[in-house]
Structure 1
Amino acid sequence: MALHQLSGPRLPPARGEATYLVVLCHGYGADGNDLIGLAPMWQRLLPTVAFVSPNAPQRCDAGPGYQWFPISRLDPAEMARGVESAAATLENFLEAELARLNLSGDKLALVGFSQGTMMALHVGLKRGVKPAAIVGYSGMLADQTLAAAPDAPPILLVHGDADPMIPIGALFASAATLGRAGAGVQWHIASGVGHSIDETGLAMGGEFLARAFHGQLARKTPEISCPVG
């Protein structure tokens, strides 16, 4: 079956040729424009990084925008099936974008919001060549049965403690599962923040990417998940 060809807004490097690629995966019912606005703010720290924010492959069942997969509730089995069904399409897009920029797979970082975090974690952890980093906002690990994450990249999870869509407990469950699987996970709880990204979380994401791109983060910290900020 032919894979859906993704498209969405891009921001080229502010200076010179791209040395890294950041792919921004939006949430349920949004589109690529929802997250590409993060790129100019992060580009101050990351001037030689290219950004792209693809529209998810399916029109949203519940309104305007797009979805990576249909979802009616936070059911573990439904989410695990969903991320797997969309994984090949996102993977195909990543390979095409890396080839377009003449970059290797380790020069990639994945950033997600909500359902996009599920996709970033699922695809990033399963890639043969692991990305330099994964940053997830207001989301969760879809497959809570994950037993091993060999050579997992550094991961940052940021979540508001007033999130009505994906409760804060999802962060703790995801961090615990990832830690047991051998991934190095850092996390931050945004006090009073709902299903969104605040300025502190935004700054943390940019700094985390910069440190990852400069080789300043451990790729693996078995059974340890630590809060930051």
Structure 2
Amino acid sequence: MERALRHVATRLGELDCHVIDALPEGATPELVVVLSHGLGAPATDLVPLGPELMAFQPALADRVRFVFPGGPMAWAHGGRAWFPLPDAVMRGEQRDWEQFARDVPPGMPAARRALMSTVDALCAAMKLPYGRIVLGGFSQGGMVSTDVALRLDEPPAGLCILSGTLTSEPEWRPRAQGRTGLPVFQAHGRYDPLLPLGSAERLRDLFVASGLTVDFHAYDMPHAIVTEELEALAAFLAARLGGR
């Protein structure tokens, strides 16, 4: 018999979060998937992905808890954000992707601290190691998730980057070399007008050169998430369960 989906709003560390699972009451998940939204989205933006991923891979419903944190900043145009972006980027005028790749975005250290506090609160509450946490997110949420995944004291179970891009390269490159074998799911739109595919491919190449295991997908889509992408992501997450 199909179990009811549980949806709880709670604060974990510094962030307000939405928690989704279909586990039996009181059960400890085998894996926790933390997915962070993009710039200007509401904190609930990615919550519908939980049930969709469970539908593609029923094992996720039996063994996984999904956590969707809200960014620490209120965005002037509505929704939440992880860190501010220059007005030129917001107007679509940012074309110097070489500089964007090199620079650490203002506010990234604060966003990193906030997301790390949520991960640590999850691990403490559920008595789980970092190795049973998957980090990921869409766009800006993917950037901060990458930053955190490369900085935790131990590698997470996996990293999922949905329409993300390369930034903070001088910091990320040496840290990536300490994450050999980390499973990464990366997906991007061929027609993304905001974050070009080439920059995502550059991030992929950095990871591959550093010894991470990257499952890369390019789709005929803009800055978005499509069904085929979710199906592939669900399979990636199910594989993280392994023989547990």
Question: Shorter chain as normaliser: what TM range?
Answer: 0.7 to 0.9
- The answer as to 2:164 corresponding to 1:139 is yes
Which residue in the other structure is 1:12 paired with?
21
Q: How many residues align?
A: 211
Q: Distance in 2 between matches of 1:199 and 1:155?
A: 19
* Displacement after TM superposition at 1:40 (Å): 1.1
Select 1:32's aligned residue among 43, 53, 58. 43
Contact 2:83 2:105 in 1 (8 A): no
Query: Is residue 158 of structure 1 aligned with residue 187 of structure 2?
Result: yes
How big is the shift at 1:177? 1.4
Q: What is the aligned partner in structure 2 of residue 224 from structure 1?
A: none
How far apart in 2 are the matches of 1:126 and 1:202? Answer: 26
Q: Secondary structure of the residue that 2:150 maps to in structure 1?
A: helix
Partner of 1:204: 232
Alignment of 1:75-86 (within 5 A): 75-86=100-111
Q: Is the 8 A contact 1:121 1:141 kept in 2?
A: no
CA distance in 1, matches of 2:103, 2:74: 18
List runs of 5+ in structure 2 lacking aligned partners: 1-12, 90-96
Identity within the alignment, %: 28
Shift of 1:78: 4.6
Counterpart pick for 2:146 among 104, 107, 121? 121
TM value normalised by structure 1: 0.85
Could you report, residue by residue, the CA deviation over 1:67-120 in whole angstroms, capped at 9, with x for unpaired residues?
Answer: 100012362355444433311111011100121222111110012100001011
Indicate conservation of the 8 Å contact 1:117/1:138, yes or no. Answer: yes
> Structure 1 CA distance, aligned partners of 2:102 and 2:166?
12
Letter paired with 2:143: M
Ranges of 4+ aligned residues in structure 1 off by more than 4 Å: 77-81
Gaps of 5+ in 1: 217-229
Whose helix fraction is larger, Structure 1's or Structure 2's? 2
Partner amino acid, structure 2, of 1:11: I
Residue 25 and residue 103 in structure 1: after superposition, are their counterparts in 2 closer, same or farther (change >3 A)?
same
1:56 deviation in Å?
0.3
User: TM-score, normalised on structure 2?
Assistant: 0.80
1:55 maps to 2:70 = yes
Root-mean-square deviation (CA, aligned residues, Å) is 1.9
Deviation digits for residues 17-63 of structure 1, max 9, x if unmatched?
311111111100012211111111222331211111011000113x1
State the alpha-carbon separation in 1 of the partners of residues 114 and 190 from structure 2. Answer: 32
Distance 1:78 1:67, change over 3 A: farther
How far residue 141 of structure 1 moved from its aligned partner, in angstroms, is 2.8
Partner of 1:221 in structure 2?
none
Indicate which of 53, 69, 78 corresponds to 1:64.
Answer: 78
